[in-house]
Every structure is written in structure tokens, then in C-alpha cells.
Amino acid sequence: MPPTLVDSHCHLDFPDFAEEIDDVVARACAAGVTRMVSIATSMAGEPRVRAIAETHAPVFYAAGLHPLHVHEESPPTVEKLVEIARHPKMVGIGETGLDYHYSVETRAVQQESLRLHCEAARRTGLPLIIHSRDADADMTRILTEEHAAGAFSCVMHCFSSSAELGRAMLDLGFYLSMSGIATFRKSTDLREIFASAPLDRILVETDSPYLAPQPKRGKRNEPAYTAMTAVTGAEVFGISVEDFAAATTANFDRLFAKAAAWTAEDAA
């Protein structure tokens, strides 16, 4: 039997998986990925992601407004995020964050949206799920300010930023999530950042359908491929795949405590 893993971030509602969700979930479970968190990147998409989680026992979900979508819909109110967080399988706030690579012109709205999500994470006790690209200084400043105003938990999803941002986030008690990017041949610096982090602050994810790990790079990613990234993770930390899987699963259960506590009876 393969070691048990959790895909802490995927997008099962995307068209790439249309008409194939049953098979995708089955392949994940066969690969040892017995739980996965499907992320809604907008409030408009929240019902689709919720429906997938309600239909498939191994799937949980999170919801928020991705920074690249702030030009398409207004940021959700804190009250709206708190309301949907009452669902038994809604286990995280986001993804939210800052992305100045493509959308620097929406910087102010992105920052407003990020702060609203921080407040929702505080009120619900659910972890914040952060997307960060080309925005290290503002990300550090805003999350440090918000955390000082009232603590919340957080994961830097698909972490591929600077060592400085990684250290700042770890200093706040946050988690770093390893994606397929860490398996790429030229990702030496990124692997070094992970190697310098405490193992008890590491999660693993696919961000599928994007960023398939080696040897699937360039193809559609899916939750089953978490197992391939875990091989690289084990190498980075100099431990067995079994130990890496056990550690990252324990980390997930600590951060996503609502998912860890969920039972089928909760859905009744």
C-alpha cells in the first residue's frame, strides 16, 4: 500500500476535470492520496466546489477570491465568508493573496480583499490560504500587520517565492506548501528554502490541473500526482517517503483541524 498523503490544494471544479471527477478521485485514493482540498477561486465558483465536496467523501473545500479575479467580481464580505464557512466540509479561507505579475493595476483592491480574508480567518478559526507572486514586500507587511491585530493560521500555497518571504511567514507560525515546482530540475534554490524550513511546517499539494511534477511535467496535473512531489520532498529532507508522508499528513491535520475532525456523520 502506498503511504497516505493529502493534496492540500487542487481545483477539481476546473473544466480540465469535467465528466471525470469520479475517476480522478479514485486514482488519487489508489495512489495513497486519501484526502484533497478543492479550492474555489471566486464566490461564483463556490457552489460548484461545494457540490464536489458533498458528493465525494475524500474531498473537502475552501473558498475565497483569487487576486487575479478581483477585476471580475467584488471581494466577498467577511460576513459572507463566515456564512459559507459553516458548511461541515468547508475547511479553509481562500485562496486569496497578492499577484502583481499579471495584475499590478488592481493592487489596491487585491490588498483590500486580502485583509477581508484575514478577518474571516480570524473569525472562523479556519486557515488562510495564500497565493503570492511578485509581491513579497506587501505580502510580508500586510500579513504581519494583520496577524498582529489578531492571530490566525495560514498556509503559503504553492510556495515558490523568496527565502526572505518564506522565513517571514515561518516566523509568524505559518506553513509552506510544496508543489510540483519543487521537482523541476532548475528549482534548486526553492528546494534549499524548503530544506531550511522545519519539517513540521510543510504541506504538499498539486495545484492541479496546473504544475504537474516530474516526470509528468507539461501534462495535466491531478491529485494522484501528489505522490510524485512527495518523493522529492522526502529527498529534500533526507527521510523516507513514508516518513515525509506521515509528517505532512500530521501537519495538514494540525492546520486543517476541521477536516481532520470530519466524519461522514457530519454530512447527515
pLDDT value at position 103? 80
| pLDDT of 266 over the 80 cut | no
pLDDT at 25: 98
* Band of residue 268 on the pLDDT scale cut at 50, 70, 90: low
Residue 115's contacts (CB-CB under 8 Å, 6 or more residues apart) are 142, 146
Amino acid code (one letter) for 69:
H
Q: Is 87 annotated as a binding residue?
A: no
Query: Which CATH code is given to the segment(s) 5-267?
Result: 3.20.20.140
Number of other residues whose CB lies within 10 A of the CB of residue 219:
10
Confidence category of residue 264, pLDDT binned at 50, 70, 90: low
- Quote the percentage of the chain above a pLDDT of 90: 96
Write out pLDDT tens, residues 170-217: 999 999 999 999 999 999 999 999 999 999 999 999 999 999 999 999
Cα gap 262→34, rounded to integer Å = 13
Question: Is residue 147 a known part of a binding site?
Answer: no
Q: What pLDDT does 146 receive? A: 98
Per-residue pLDDT reduced to its tens digit, 79-116: 999 999 999 999 999 999 999 998 889 999 999 999 99
pTM: 0.96
**Biggest alpha carbon–alpha carbon distance for the chain:** 49
Average pLDDT of the residues of the chain: 96
**Residue 104, pLDDT score:** 83
- 95 belongs to an annotated ligand binding site: yes
User: Is residue 56 annotated as involved in ligand binding?
Assistant: no
Q: Please name the residue that has the C-alpha cell 507539461.
A: 218
Q: Given this model, what pLDDT does residue 161 score?
A: 96
pLDDT at 166 (0 to 100): 98
What are the backbone angles phi and psi of residue 69, rounded to the nearest 5°?
A: -110, 5
- Cβ neighbours of 263 (radius 10 Å): 9
The pLDDT of residue 197? 98
Judge whether 225 and 26 are in contact, CB under 8 Å.
no
pLDDT band at 267 (very low <50, low <70, confident <90, very high): low
Of 21-35, 49-63, 167-181, 253-267, which range is least confident? 253-267
**Domain ranges within the chain, ordered by starting residue:** 5-267
Contact between 165 and 140 under an 8 Å Cβ cutoff? The reply is yes
- Residue 21's nearest CA partner among 264, 208, 219 is 208
| Residues 160 and 181 sit within 8 Å (Cβ to Cβ) | yes
CA dihedral 102, 105, 106, 112 (to 10 degrees): 120
**Residue 157 assigned as binding residue:** yes
